[in-house]
Amino acid sequence: MSEEKFRNAFREFSKAALLRIRQSGGLGAFSGRIAIFDSSRDGHFIDLATFTEAVSAIESLPMFGI
């Protein structure tokens, strides 16, 4: 994946995630909640249309490749 596509994937995911946080009432809705103890908390972000592209971007990095 090119650096430009990588950056765009993360930019779009970040924008969507921030919008989701704002729509949920701000960071207070997420404060003190650790997804490692309850993976359903990741659902706020996993269901974003931009999530899959961001994951692909991470996997394209040599240090994170699968």
The backbone region for 34, taken as left when phi is positive above 0, alpha when psi lies in -120 to 50, beta otherwise, is: beta
Q: Which pTM was predicted?
A: 0.74
- pLDDT for 33 equals 65
Per-residue confidence band for 8, with pLDDT thresholds at 50, 70 and 90: very high
- 10-23 pLDDT, tens digit each: 999 999 999 988 88
